[in-house]
A = this chain, B = another copy of it.
């Protein structure tokens, strides 16, 4: 009887814990959803709230889309909590009364292995997302390069990063697949403009002509804000076939090099033409 009593006490304890845990978790989910919906969470300090405020700051979600997503996730989470708590409680009660669990747990283990392994890339995505956010590798509006994809960050969530590439395509990249990421919007952009001329022109004369053509660009109002340094003619880059290629180095604000490159190319072309310097000799060169 003492045994029976003990089992009944165990039963009561397990049920109490299960009910309490479910109550606390459901409450936590409800509250998180409410806070996420009202966005009044800046001052609060407990963990759950902090996590979602990080999440909210990270992504620039449109309000209605986020509201909808939050509600769906909340109801999904509540259902998962219910199913898991009921199942575990039931099994524990059976175990309290001495019914052997080994066959059931072994059978469930097969599903568990599949589920655990299948979910591993999901967990990897979330962990990568958390660390990427914590390390502040990029933010909304940055131009970044991930593998073959380059675009402006639209949204950073814990699982995926959303980019828009220059062609207008929106890319969703799973965070766990981001092994290397390049952020173009930090600091500056440096480029070389290639200027091809005939291989038998005098390199020093060409250098002087080009230098004259681009000097003073940094003072011009059109380029003052874009150029970080005066463009510099660095000399002969390569000689092959009938072509000698001269290099002009530019340093601009992040991703602002495109307009300057076009302007420099246009000025160089005009200056070379005026100085009578011939373009590349158009015989085919040995292929490489």
Instruction: Write out the residue numbers on chain B whose beta carbons fall within 8 Å of the beta carbon of A186.
Output: 164, 169-170
For this chain, the copies found in one complex come to 7
Which residues of the other chain, B, contact A284 by a CB distance below 8 angstroms? 282-287
Q: Does A243 contact B (CB under 8 A)?
A: yes
- Which of B6, B94, B136 has a CB less than 8 Å from the CB of A98? B6
Q: Are A113 and B116 in contact, CB atoms less than 8 angstroms apart?
A: yes
When the two chains form their complex, are residues B236 and A262 in contact, meaning their CB atoms are under 8 A apart?
yes
| Chain A contact patch, size range | 35 or more
Closest to A73 in B: B134
Whether B159 pairs with A131 at a CB distance below 8 angstroms is yes
Q: Measured between alpha carbons, how far is A103 from B109 in the docked complex, in Å?
A: 11
Q: Is A203 an interface residue (CB 8 A)?
A: yes
CA distance A49 to B200 in the complex (A): 64
Interface residues of A (CB under 8 A from B): 6, 10, 13-14, 17, 47, 50, 65, 69, 72-73, 75-76, 79, 83-84, 87-88, 91-92, 94-124, 126-128, 131, 134-137, 145-147, 149, 157, 159-160, 164-174, 176-177, 179-184, 186-191, 196, 199-200, 203-204, 234-237, 239-244, 251, 254, 258-259, 262-263, 265-266, 269-270, 273, 279-288
